[in-house]
Chains A and B, each alone.
Chain A
Amino acid sequence: MTYKKYISKIKKNKIIIHLSQIAIFILFITIWQILANKNYINTFITSSPKNILITILNLYRQNNLLFHIWITIKEVLISFIITSFLSIFIATILYNYKILYKILDPYITLFNSLPKVALGPIIIIWIGANIKSIITISVLISIIVSIQTIYNGFENTDPLKIKLLKTFNANKKDILFNCVIPSNKSVILSTLKINISMCLIGVITGEFLTSKAGIGYLILYGSQVFNLNLVMSGIILLMIISYVMYNIILYISKR
């Protein structure tokens, strides 16, 4: 096989994959719409692509859709920033004071296995039914895994490199900034990628518990008044938001 053939084969493969992906999407939407048009499915509980589109347009015209999207994105970004900074900070402290990690280990495990949403009611009573509670819930949901992943990365730093720095009389700070953090760059970046998704999960959970605006609020409100068009629209909007935010982080981390 010549090089040219090889390249053209790879290109062909890529085109096939992309076309298939688009085809699946179109097929899904079309079948859904046809089934709805022919009354094979009850659009009252399944909604339909057309209805979703109309709902979203109406939300945009009458109900401040951009405001709801903005609220959700703002909550995600704030909790993402808090989670990321706090987890890097805490993992650094635990790494430098191993005894602290050993003491706290069972409590971290305990807290990790607790479904954080169970704490929701307490948090709302303590902090109030507002955006701060939503952010707190989101941070609690994402932070433990983030700390553990970064801490494990730190622990697996090549001991030889640390020993080398010590031969030049490095102190803890030197070792941290010249070796531990740079050699864990990819661990930290992939944790950030996971954090953005975890924070979105956390924010929607929080919005379900207490909110006056946001996509989670729209979905919850839609289900309460049995408006499935609204619920489905909310879910579609969430998919788009999460896809876009994930790709932004991906783009930033690649540079």
Chain B
Amino acid sequence: MNLIKILNLSKSYYSINEETKAINNITFDIDNNFTGIIGPSGCGKSSILNIISNQDKDYEGKIIKKENLKIGYMLQEDALFPWLNIYENSILGLKISKSLNDDNIKYVVHLLKKYGLYEFKDKYPNELSGGMKQRVALIRTLAIKPDILLLDEPFSALDYQTRLKVCDDVYKIIKEENKAVVIVTHDVSEAISFCDKVIVLTKRPASIKNIYNINYINKNTPTQNRKTIEFQKYFDLIWSDIEK
């Protein structure tokens, strides 16, 4: 069952002097699993997420969503508010979307406890490490109980070591909470280790170069997947595709 169907999607940005075509006739399905979108920087990946999440309503083509599909969107940077403490940051989405009730607050507290942030609930973002801040941002998104999460280069602000660890963390949390994911990245290995399906885009204007289904015999966390033979195989395959 598809959660979202994207049909013949195109998008242009306009300025007084020129038209910038960012997306060129893209069609693909998003299923109830992990979808990765990779492509060179500036090719139109964020534009696709903005459209799927309804931030941007100015496009051509069709987006068909499963009825009552709730979408959570996690931006490229954690964007925590420095004047709010960790707890207040976590419930910000609930507050804004006017769904701050006892049940939802309980769920946030549960998430904070489960993912090791509850003891930091009265601290402020500048007192936390990069990885912890990313987890808070994820909980803030999970708090509204979305069916699907859109992640826009969620780890790009982190150094390599932290990145691998946080990637595993986020993977486990999302699996545990049983959500579908669309993750955008320009890191091929990240996409292969994280996703069930990888969509490779051309450079701007983005069109689809190829779609790969990723299968591991023993599917595990991203860092474990990286050590398998299949990973190497997919990596070579996609890499040669990009090089073409």
Contacts and interface: CB of A to CB of B under 8 A. Distances in A.
A174 B144 CA distance: 17
A201 interface: no
B77 A168 contact: no
Interface stretch (B58-66, B91-99, B208-216, B229-237): B91-99
A170 B83 contact: no
Contact of B73 (A167, A178, A182, A185): A167
Given A169-B97, A182-B81, A163 B92 contact: no
A183 B79 CA distance: 13
Contacts of A170: 96
- Size class of A's contact patch? 10 to 19
Where chain B touches its partner, the secondary structure class is: loop
Contacts of A182: 81, 83
Given A160-B79, A182-B81, A167 B92 contact: no
A10 to B, nearest CB: 26
A183 B83 contact: yes
B96 A174 contact: yes
A165 interface: yes
Q: Pick the 9 closest A-B CB pairs, nearest first.
A: A168-B96, A167-B73, A164-B79, A168-B93, A168-B97, A170-B96, A160-B79, A182-B83, A174-B96
Given A179-B81, A182-B83, 15 more contacts: A160-B77, A160-B79, A161-B79, A161-B81, A163-B75, A165-B96, A167-B72, A167-B73, A168-B93, A169-B96, A169-B97, A174-B96, A178-B92, A183-B81, A185-B83
Interface of A: 158, 160-161, 163-170, 174, 178-179, 182-183, 185
10 contacts: A158-B79, A160-B75, A160-B79, A165-B92, A167-B72, A167-B75, A178-B92, A178-B95, A183-B81, A185-B83
